A and B are shown apart, each in its own frame.
Chain A
Amino acid sequence: MTKINQPFYSTNLSFYIILCISIISIIPLFTIIINSSIIDFDFTLFKNSQFLEYTKNSLIILFFVLFLTFIFGVIPAYLVTFYNFVGVKFFKYSLILSFAIPPYIFGYSLSAFFENFGSGYTLINLIWDTNNANSYLPNFSPIVNSVLSLSFTLYGYVYLLSRTSFVGQSVNLLDLGKSLGFSSYQRFFKIILPCARPGIFIGLSLVAMETLSDFGTVSYFGVSTFTTEIYNSWFIFDDLNTSNFLSLLLLIFVLFFFIVENYLRKDSRFHSLKNEGKRKKQALKGTKNFLATAFCLCLFVFSFVFPFSQMLYWSIKFPEYLANFEILKLNLNTFLLIFFTSFFLISVAIFTNFGNRVLKNRFLSVFSSLSISGYAIPGIIISVSIISFFSLVSSFINFDLKTIFIGSFYGLILGYFFRFYSIAYNGIKSNFLKINYSLDESSYLMGFDKFKTFSTVHWPILNKNIFFIFILIAIEIIKELPITLILRPFNFETFSTRAYNFATQDLIEATAIPSMFLIFWASIFILISFKYFFQDNK
């Protein structure tokens, strides 16, 4: 069939724009592959004790974080979905507040509490009036600290996704279990858990990607992992070869989880069953009630109350940092970034999705769904690839693109675009999918052109959810560290970079104020968007 035969052949321009957007969005992937092709493969690296060290560290952290987030995620999700106990409604919502805490800030709080003469020391002194409090406090190794920080801040993914799978489970299936005489223990292991497997694995894959991408926490605790080594070899030792090689290795690693996640997402559609009846929650009594409440309470306190109050406490205890601190400017910078980036990302996502809907070009829609792969690429790799891409292009075309994009607002937004475009794209896409295609058709048939169709039909339906997509992007940007740290303009600070800088200077008390603000705003954003996270139960 010739092109001209398509009903919308006049929209060639948007075809090329969407193509360009898709091409731009795979720059990081492209750059790493180009770079790796010029790597001087030094296989002695594999025998290098350092290499073994950080591979080992990365794997150990990954393993324990996955284990802990599984426990922290699945158990409360199971409890709040199937049982009634004291505070169940509160815990159902409040457990996702852990999303407000970036892992590195949890790390700062951990060391603030457990260090010699830290908050833990003060607390014990206050209660027992002893001078020997330091000896009662455990002294965790850097790896344990990293694992704890990551697990308590990332379990939300597993919690949310397994809860959604539990809620979606058929009541009939559980009744069947009861009629077969299964105990609640057997029902959990034989029916509930296996049926929720795709959801749980998707959550764990996201945790794995975040853990492998994490830079702030491990670099703060001084654990050498892939990300810290990429950073060090690039920015400290200027060893591009190793940096590129490690980027490629890490990427292969992360892409494995990315593929697992996407495979399961497609697969889980067939697993989801219609929820036929209203589920009756079982009320827990006595010890069980107490244990359920205690578990959720501990989780909530450790994951959210602890870091927040620690930062609040320090902000009050060390008011001197407040004095010479440009709070207003930090707030302004952060919100400026959030608004520009989300406006840009959402506009591009709307344009691409609308264009794909109108053009109905298979090649283009497959290609633009490739462009969301960015969220799997660790921020550190994105930053490094942006820098090396623009150096490459600058030297190629003999025009200094580097100064335009490196250390500037544009470069920063581009970095966020690579990393967070998928949030905007998928969010808008799922809303577009809810609009039946026959609405577009009837609009055309009333003589409305594509743009009028968009303004009278699509936009009024889409705009209700755009706010939530904006919030989701805002939460991610406010917590983001490596891209901001590397690509930001000179002296441009956000909460996360400020806190990180203080922490690396060992001014851990000073991290309190930016961290507290960060947690505060992120929590507000999460509170606003509760409805979005819990859309499944109306």
Chain B
Amino acid sequence: METPNISTAWPLRDKTAFAGIGTSAFGSFPESDSYGLGCAALNAALDDAGLKPSDIDGLIVNRIPSYERFSEMMGINPQYCLLTEAPGRFSGVSLSLAMQAVATGAAKTVALVYGNNGRSVRMKYGGGDSQWSPWGMTSPGAIHAMMWRRHMHEYGTTHADLGWVAEAFRHHACLNPDAVMHGKPITREDHATARPICEPLALLDYCLINDGAVAWIITSAERAADLRRPPVLISGYARQDNFTYGSAPPTDFWQSNLGAVRDQIYTRAGIGRDELQGLGIYDNFTPTVLFSLEGLGFCKPGEGGDFVRDGTLRLGTGRWPTNTSGGHLSNSYMQGWEIIAECVRQLRGDGGARQIPDCHAMQYICATNIAQSVILRRG
């Protein structure tokens, strides 16, 4: 990968900001759906920002079936509107589209709304017709299980290493009254003895499936400064795709494209790794957290297990408090949207019992074939 040119500042650095965030409750809500949950989240975000639906001139919806119907419901007639793809990597992609829309003047104030009623509709993340389904190979969990066994073989990591990730995020969920797994602590022993789902991964390596919604309101840094809450600036965003894996699990744990993100993100943000107080990592499965840490250079390839041992990711004990609301594993499976919202809460000092002390900058990482990272800072 090319060395970034540090003499030219990234043009979007600190130009856009989070002006509002909001969520629905998380859990099982068969009496609602992704529209109802999305409306609740957007209303919470509008109240947070001190805005009305008529102030919104850009709209991005995700996992809400129709942007037309959602706009009609909320009485929004934007000048910029789209629906993004369902996979969780599109939380970060959607954020980048909103940033671009604001920066180019396509819209002034963009609402992004994610709604998911996967629990109520008994959504299965597996099955269906795909390249390998005739052999029973299906589900994102199985792809991660395949990679994780290889990682253990190549580097000597163990399933017990993942227990540190699961235990830390559950601890955070127990500090978060809104988390689905609030009040249900687990131990690393529980992680080790959980029933297998797709070996080598077991139940507590898997994210939750629950209903809920998250909304963000993105606007320019200048406009955000005049709104109700302290703005959280989007300092940097970097992305590198890698679709060359031949439909099979990637044999490099996404290190190639994560490495390209690592080479851009800190330079773009103008914020170094040592200046960060905490992380948000897309944790669909526990191994992804280690792949993310290795790929972004928090440790060397293969050393993710050593890195998380002894509670490095755990609030209060570790240098790198990660997914302080509990993440996908223990708070809410909102496909990156809630993890990014939690970074915003931390930077505003809204973390309550789970607040990271003196929090100025946070980094989000998503390890997938669209590898991405975002650095946010207090405005």
Partners in one complex: no
Q: Which residues of A contact B (CB under 8 A)?
A: none
